[in-house]
Amino acid sequence: MKIKILMVCLGNICRSPLAEGILKSKLDSNIYLVKSCGTSNYHIGNRPDRRSIAVGKKYGIDISSQRAAQFTVNDFKTYDFIYAMDNSNYQDIITLTNKNQDKNKVNLILEELHPNNNLDVPDPYYGGEQGFENIFELLNKACDNIVLKLEKLS
Ligand code: 4NP
């Protein structure tokens, strides 16, 4: 059985598709499954935002074939690690379960970079291109630490 990791944001078109693409690029696909989704239904079936596709492409990560999906309670069963991009996503996910076993799977992704700071990956949707460069850098560093953590577990 593969170790399964889910990246979650609001729309699943800006932050979590990049998080998925970046982490996937650092892990062996025979051992790990990485996916992403959004807490909202706003963009189900859509491609990632063109600015996320562009910044990914700039750093050699192709996310253009991803399509947006919405988080469901079934994802608590499927995934081993669930990373929320911000505190609002975290709350929206946690609200969907009463089980500690489910809640314990959910973490803010930037806790892997700056523990105990409860930092958000800023939502770049309404900003400019620089916001996408910024989130790429944050997610890339956080994913490096996730890889180290996963490698310690295996
Ligand atoms: P994401 O960004 O959660 O990183 O995919 C957003 C995308 C779309 C919207 C909000 C955030 N929206 O309101 O449509």
The string of pLDDT tens digits covering residues 122-135 is 999 998 899 999 99
pTM: 0.98
Q: What is the mean pLDDT of residues 12-35?
A: 98
Task: Give me the helix-helix angle, 129-153 and 15-26, nearest 10°.
Answer: 40
Distance 12 CA to ligand 1 centre (A): 7
Cβ neighbour number for residue 141 with a 10 Å cutoff:
15
Question: Helices marked H in the chain — which ranges?
Answer: 15-26, 50-58, 75-78, 87-94, 100-103, 129-153
Distance CA 146, CA 66 (A): 21
pLDDT confidence of residue 154: 79
Distance of alpha carbon 96 from alpha carbon 102, whole angstroms? 9
Contact (Cβ atoms closer than 8 angstroms) between residue 135 and residue 58: no
Average pLDDT on 25-35 reads: 98
Question: Residue 78 — pLDDT band, cuts 50, 70, 90?
Answer: very high
102 is catalytic: no
pLDDT digits (tens, 9 = 90+) for 80-123: 999 999 999 999 999 999 999 999 999 999 999 999 999 999 99
Q: Which residues line ligand 1 (CB under 6 A)?
A: 9-15, 38, 42, 123, 125
